[in-house]
Amino acid sequence: MSGPAASFDDLRDLYQEVILDHGRKPRNHFRLEAFDASARGDNPMCGDRVELFIKMDGPRIGQASFLGRGCAISQASASLLTEAVPGLTPDEARALSARLREIAKTGARDDSTPALQRLSALSGVHEFPSRVKCATLAWHALEAALDGTKETSSE
């Protein structure tokens, strides 16, 4: 039983590394000069705030950025989001968001695409129900932005 346990720990360390890296050095952490959609997310339980900006390029998301503050998980998740959604249509981005929420809630990793593989770094939060909201906050904001609403709070 030590084999699988060891590799699970290795994976945990790798995931931890991804979250710490994105938490410390968030990607696309600025307000877009011009954007087509934006939304705020608020997770009062943890004090996390995220404001997301989306610029479209034709039918696809061209660029995504965010401003925010809060715990490493909430900021890492927002950072990962801004790298994952460019090139996707709004429907594809919604589908990715649904997968992310499932990963965070159930802990089931998804290695079917490189993007989902990276996002699976957030799978560990399912062990800590209060942190699931941290991980999904930016994604609720993404869906709100795509739906054209401005405010959302993580459920």
Binding residues for Zn ion (CB under 5 A): 46, 48, 70-71, 74, 134
Torsion of CA 112, 116, 117, 120, to 10 degrees: -120
Compute the radius of gyration of the chain from its Cα atoms. Answer: 15
Q: How far is the CB of 48 from Zn ion (least distance, A)?
A: 4
* d(C-alpha 8, C-alpha 1), whole Å: 11
Q: Which is nearer to Zn ion, 61 or 135 (CB)?
A: 135
Q: How far is the CB of 137 from Zn ion (least distance, A)?
A: 7
- Cα separation of the two ends of the chain: 37
Q: Which is nearer to Zn ion, 78 or 96 (CB)?
A: 78
Q: Are β-strands 37-43 and 151-153 bridged in parallel, bridged antiparallel, or unpaired? A: parallel
Q: Which is nearer to Zn ion, 8 or 128 (CB)?
A: 128
* d(C-alpha 11, C-alpha 37), whole Å: 35
Q: How far is the CB of 72 from Zn ion (least distance, A)?
A: 8
Q: Which is nearer to Zn ion, 11 or 46 (CB)?
A: 46
* CA 52 distance to own-chain centroid: 11
Q: How far is the CB of 19 from Zn ion (least distance, A)?
A: 11
